[in-house]
Each structure stands twice: as C-alpha cells, then as structure tokens.
Homo-oligomer: A and B are copies of this chain.
Amino acid sequence: MKKITIADVATYANVSKSTVSQYLNKRYDYMGADTKKRIEAAIKALGYSPNIIARSLKQKSTKTIGVIVANILHVFSTQVIRAIEDYCNASNFHVIVCNADDDPMKEKRYIEMLRAKQVDGIIAFPTGENIDLYQGLLEENYPFILMDRLVPGVAMDAVLLDNEKAVHLAIEQFIKAGYKKIGMISPPMEQPVTPRRERMEAYKTALKKYGIEFRPAYLASGEITDMHIRIKEMLTLADPPEAILALNDRVLFELLQYTKDHQVQIPADLAIIGIDDVSFASFYSPTLTTIAQPAFDMGKKAAQLLFNQIQGDSRSETNVYRFAPQLMERESC
C-alpha cells in the first residue's frame, strides 16, 4: 500500500501542495471556502495523514522530549514519568523513556542518541558523572532539566526533594516518640548521588541539633543484595539502635524483610520511618510512618520548566526547585 502524500492530496483536490500545506496548518485566512472544502474532501477520500518526520525536518522541532531515568522500575520514577507524560500530552508532545541504570556510559549514549533524533529537550535523573557532557549542553543552551539529582558544578535548572527537610521530619518524629538511638540505612554511598548525599548530611546535622552524637555503626550503606547483612550487623550490635530511618523504598523493603524474618516487633523493638510513601504503608502491620515525596508535582514542574526553555524563554537565571516532603504519621513510629 503506497503511502499517500501531500502531493496526492493536491492533485486530487486540484490545488498546489502549498495550499494543502496551508490548510493543514490551519492558515485559512485567505483560503476560498470552496478550496477548503475540496481539500477536506480529498484528505478524507485518500485517507491522508501527514508525515510528521518531514515536517520536523523543516520546522526543526520534533514535538518529542526524552526522559532519562535511573530505572523505570522505581516507583518514584514511574510517577514522575506519568506526570511528565500527562503534561506533554496536553501539548501534543511525546516522550521517549530511557533507563540509564546509573551507568554513565549508557547515559552518555542515550543523550547523544536523543539529540541525534532531534528531541526538543531532555529531563534526566543524572548519574552525576559525565560532567563535561552536561556542561556542554548548558553552554549550548540546550533545553535540559535535572530531576532528583544535581550534577556537581553544572548550573542547570533542577527539581529536587527538600532532602534536608525530609530527614529532619523523620528524626524529629523519632525524637518526639522518645528515641535517641537512631540508625539509618541507605544504598551505596560510594555513588554519591544527590539524595543519598544530602540525606546522609541531614542525618548528621539533625542528630546534632538534638544533641545526639553520630555513631558510624548506626549507619549502614551498601548494595541492596547485601543489605540484609548490613542490617543484621547493626541490629546485633551490643547496643543496637532503637529506631531506623530507611533512606528509600528499596532499602525499606530489606529492613521489613529482616524484621519479618527475625520477628523484630515494630515499633516495640524497633521504630521505623521510611522515605517514600510505599503503596502498602496504610495496611501493613503496623501501618508505616513515611515521608512522602510529591512525585507528581515534581514531574509536572520539570515538564513546565523544560517547556519554558523549549519556548526560548530567556534563561535569566538557573533555579533549583525544592519540593516539600510530607510526614505521613502512622504506627511504626
């Protein structure tokens, strides 16, 4: 089945390609009512649908953006993507989703491929490496928004959780409940990605704020696959923590698995707060106190910022937008 083009429509309607193009772009200002009707009929008769690729080539806009996440399997990423997609959809934009898996090489390749495909802009959860690449993008004024993570030394627009506040909310909640021996578990700190770094810092400053000394043994970080070992080490200390803050949902899962396997009573034996409002928080036993991230608002904001840049709003200054976390007070602390 031969693809039918604007030329076919023009022939059929007995007008020129230009006129058909005018019609398609809704510039009817000077178009004869009759011409219009003929074109309309021709399009319907032939079942014509324009080739957007050809248009993109000329107009230098693909109405497509790229979103590079670490891993779409993380609930937070999924929510952010959904919000972005909704926003794009309203403007007839499409979104290409890429998983960089925290691999700088993969990230680089995706960015280059997306640019070669002429996407109008990119929103990324950056690995934090590839600093030169990001710096180049910035200097070029290429529309780009950082999500969840910052790139050291690169002043791009970004939307992040107020990580400091998130941790302070949690620690404050522990303190209010009378806990002083407060531990924290986190993914690998060797990958000093913004949320981990900031939450770690905040953990220390929050403890200090309440006059509690920081104890390295109360801080466990490592690969998810080894997390249960780290947790065991911490909870079998001679003087173990009475409360633990889980830095994100993945790590919380490991902690809950451990407490389940070893019959640790929550909160009697161990109080728990997790960052990320997991789906089962309200019907787990006990219900789980969490710190919720406004993922949808964050995704929407990122999309708005990107569109501003795409529409060429003079990037007067770079901004880092911090979103407020929310304490979901339940039974685990």
Contact = CB atoms under 8 A, between A and B. Distances in A.
Contacts of A51: 57, 116, 118
Contacts of A53: 53, 56-57, 62, 117-118
Interface string A280-292: 1011110100000
Contacts of A256: 280, 283
Interface string A1-35: 10000000000000000000000000000000000
A233 B65 CA distance: 47
Given A52-B118, A53-B118, A94-B96, A73 B64 contact: no
A164 to B, nearest CB: 28
A117 B99 contact: no
B73 A116 contact: no
B284 A284 contact: yes
A70 to B, nearest CB: 12
Given A81-B97, A94-B98, A95-B96, A285 B283 contact: no
A82 B62 contact: no
A92 interface: yes
A130 interface: no
A296 B216 CA distance: 39
Interface residues of A, number: 51
Contacts of A198: none
A118 B82 CA distance: 23
Given A72-B85, A86-B99, A117 B253 contact: no
Contacts of A278: 280
Contacts of A284: 260, 280, 284
Nearest to A63: B117
A165 interface: no
Given A53-B53, A257-B283, A279-B253, A99 B113 contact: no
Contact of A116 (B1, B50, B81, B140): B50
A115 interface: yes
Contacts of A81: 72, 97
A79 B73 contact: yes
A112 interface: yes
A269 B35 CA distance: 74
Contacts of A285: 260, 285
A141 B49 CA distance: 17
A54 interface: yes
B72 A94 contact: no
B97 A85 contact: yes
A140 to B, nearest CB: 6
Interface of A: 1, 49-54, 56-57, 62, 64, 71-73, 78-79, 81-82, 85-86, 89, 92, 94-99, 112-118, 140-141, 253, 256-257, 259-261, 278-280, 282-285, 287
Given A257-B282, A260-B282, A260-B285, 16 more contacts: A49-B115, A51-B57, A52-B116, A53-B56, A53-B57, A73-B79, A89-B99, A94-B96, A95-B97, A256-B280, A256-B283, A259-B283, A260-B284, A278-B280, A279-B279, A279-B280
